[in-house]
Structures are given as C-alpha cells and as structure tokens.
Amino acid sequence: MAPFSSPSPSTTAHVLVIGAGLGGLCLAQGLRRAGISTAVYERDASPVARAQGHRLHLDANGRRALAATLPPDLFALLGAMAGRPAPRVSGFDERLRPAGVFALDEDPVPDDVMPSHVVIDRRILRQVLLDGLDEVVEFGRRCVGHEADGDTVTAFFSDGGTARGTLLVAADGVGSVIRSQRLPHARVIDSGARLIYGRVPLTPALRAELPPAMSSVFNSVVGPGRRFLGIAPVEYRERPRAAAARLASRVELDPAEDSLAVMFGRRRESLGLSDEELLTASGERLREVVLGQLGGWHPLLRRVVADWDTSTLYPITVRGSVPVPPWPSSPVTLLGDAVHAMSPAAGAGANMALRDAAALSTSLARATPGTPLVDLVRDYERDMIEKGFDAVKRSSANGVRILGEDPLPE
C-alpha cells in the first residue's frame, strides 16, 4: 500500500496536523483515505517516548470513527484483536461487596467486525494508526506557534523550521500551544484529583480469583474518603502479532499479553505526596503509597495493587476544559483534548477525540471546487463544540461524585 494517496481533484487542501496522538493519527488516516494531502508533526522523539495509557475502551463513537477513517484491513485487524468484556460498569466497595451495575448502551447500528464496548491496548492501537503514515508523520517537531495569512497557515517549530498549509489542526493535547494562541480565553483547570496508572499481568491464577462480576468493561471500587480503585481487563481475542500476520502482514505490532489496567485516584491533599514528589517518585514508591491508602481493603484488591508492574506506573493530574461558546471559524481548528480536555471519569476523552477526527475528515472530504474551506470547518466545529463540551460536563459530574473533583466553574 502506498504511504499516501494523491489529493483528489476536488480539493487542493494541505492539512497540517499538530500532534500524533490517537486523534491526530485518526485524522491523518481519514484524510489519507479521502485523498487529502496532510502532514503530521509530533513533539515526541518517537512513538514510545513516553507513557500514553494502558488501555482504551472503544464505545460507539470510537468504533464508528475508526470504521470511517481506517482502511478496511486495519479496522478488521482491530476487530480481531480487541477484547470483548461484558458491556457494563460494575461497582464495588472496599470489601469487594457489589455496589451497583451500570449497563452500557449498545449501538443501535451493529457491526459484525467490531461491536461497541471493546477494549484495546492504546500502544497497539497507536501502532495500527501509524500504518502507512511513514512519509506523513514527523517526530521530534515541537510546534511553538502559528500564523494565518489569507488562504494559508504557517506553523513554527522549535528547531527554526516552518510548515505551510491551507488548514492547521491542533491535536496537541491538553497543553495545546495552538489553543493558547487561537482561543486565549479558553481555560483548562486542575480538578484537584490525582491518578496513578499501572498494569498488572493477568495470570491464570489471578484470573481464577477475580469474581465473575469483574468481567466488565470497567470495575469501579470506591472506599472511604473517596479512595478510588479502577480495574479494567485487557484481554485479546487474538494475539496482535498473529492477527496482523493473518490480516495485514505489513503491520508490525509489539508482543502483548493479557493484563489488568489498574488505577488509583484520590484528592491531591489526601494522597500523602506533593505534586513534585508524585511526579518524581519511582514506581516502587508509587505502589507503596497506594498500598498505604488501602488499609482494611479486601485482600484481593490489595494483592492486585501489590502485583503492579512498577515499570508501568505513572501519575496523572486530572484536568478539564471550561466550556466556552462557539467562536468564529478560521483555517485553524482543534480536536480532542486540545479543545475539550476532560476527566477520565466517564471514559469518553479518547473516544471523543476519535469522533472529532472522523467528523473533520468527513467534512473536508465534501469539498468541491469553490467551496470555502472555512465553511467546512464551521460545519465541523458547530457539532464538535456541542458534543465535546457535553462530554466534558458529564465527565466532570462523574469525577465530582466519585473522586471529589472540583466542579467546573459556571
């Protein structure tokens, strides 16, 4: 397969994408599929330069976005690998007593290749999204600003280089440099909650000990003082390398084993570490701190945390975007966390970024000679702003209830 398709006769657009996370790569795949020229610039030196999460629950938004943007063989590859846990969220207290079950809505439009509510390793998903984009994605390019001039937009990089296109898309995450310049009034706030993420090998012995109710997409354990432990299985229907060899042999995937994604959360002032200490602590220290928070909890929960692979542990400051009203559209737009960062308490952030990417690529693919680009951007932004900030509010409400996050300002 060629690394990039030539632009279609209907458009001469060249899209600059800042950020090669899930949203940026999904957009690049969608633009490539539509025959629209694009280039992606990522500040990290490589795809594995830093931890970017252990698992992703793909809901209907995420699944539909990937179906719309990926080549069919890559979508089939994801469908073959992705785990299919029970479509529910199960609640427990600190003694592992059931505390409610929330059934997840099924997509009314079924898909035989990949249903809603599957689970995939983020690292594996990103490797799939990078397929065919070798000549499109440039790593080690930190964007430091942009300038719009008539029908062109120029991106500036820390190495002194520039790139010029007809549309600039900020997919550079919660600390977006593009947002700070394009929407200087848009605020991102610290919610006051902190999370520690890690991975636990899902051995046959551990699998046998987990109660059947924990076969859910996500398991939420809430104890006294709003201590929160999240446990989510990452189990493959087919091993990634075997699935790739069968369905898309050109794709190189890392080996992967079944695991539990395990996260602990609490208010920063109750965690026992300052933010500086949290960011510099070793994996062993982070595990020790969390075990110290779980006194009196069920032995199985403590053992799961004790089995954390300390090399996979990293902390997160939970932040959220304060919703803003629509703005006048221009040849500079945004997607995902760059515009509507949200608490992970609703599991919606990555899915909304994928949804944004598919919606934007679909809008741009409708271009015909003479169609003003800004009109297509406006169509995309109108829907993105409404749906994205609705998800922000829903995620914040869950975070306030479960983790004691600070509510979003009115």
Residue 299: HSE in the Cβ half-sphere, 13 Å Cα cutoff: 2
Per the structure, the complete domain to which residue 199 belongs is given by 14-403
- pLDDT interval class at 410 (50, 70, 90): confident
The answer to whether the beta carbons of residues 354 and 65 sit under 8 Å apart is: yes
CATH number at residue 375: 3.50.50.60
Mean pLDDT to the nearest integer, 14-21: 97
Three-class secondary structure assignment of the chain? CCCCCCCCCCCCCEEEEECCCHHHHHHHHHHHHHCCEEEEEECCCCCCCCCCCCCEEECHHHHHHHHHHCCHHHHHHHHHHCECCEEEEEEECCCCCEEEEEECCCCCCCCCCCCCCEEECHHHHHHHHCCCCCCCEEECCCEEEEEEECCEEEEEECCCCEEEECEEEECCCCCCHHHHHHCCCCCEEEEEEEEEEEEEECCHHHHHHCCHHHHEEEEEEEEHHHEEEEEEEECCCCCHHHHHHHHCCCCCCCCCCCEEEEEEEEEHHHCCCCHHHHHHCCHHHHHHHHHHHCCCCCHHHHHHHHCCEEEEEEEEEEEEECCCCCCCCCCEEECCHHHHCCCHHHCCHHHHHHHHHHHHHHHHHCCCCCCCHHHHHHHHHHHHHHHHHHHHHHHHHHHHHHHCCCCCCC
pTM over 0.85: yes
Q: What angle do CA 89, 188, 172 make, to 5 degrees?
A: 85
What pLDDT is stored for residue 371 in this prediction?
84
Q: For residue 205, is it within any domain?
A: yes
pLDDT in tens, 329-371: 999 999 999 999 999 998 899 999 999 999 999 999 998 888 8
Q: For residue 4, is it within any domain?
A: no
pLDDT in tens, 201-213: 999 999 999 999 9
pLDDT in tens, 302-330: 999 999 999 999 999 999 999 999 999 99
User: CA separation (Å) from 201 to 220, 230, 256, 257, 371?
Assistant: 19, 15, 10, 8, 53
List the structure tokens of 158: 């820390």
The answer to whether the beta carbons of residues 268 and 275 sit under 8 Å apart is: yes
Among 138, 136, 139, which Cα is nearest to 2's? 136
| Total structural domains within the chain | 1
Query: Considering only 33-37, 56-60, 103-107, 203-207, which range has the smallest mean pLDDT?
Result: 103-107
- pLDDT interval class at 151 (50, 70, 90): confident
Residue written as tokens 């990417």?
357
Q: For residue 409, is it within any domain?
A: no
CA distance 404 to 397: 10
What pLDDT is stored for residue 390 in this prediction?
97
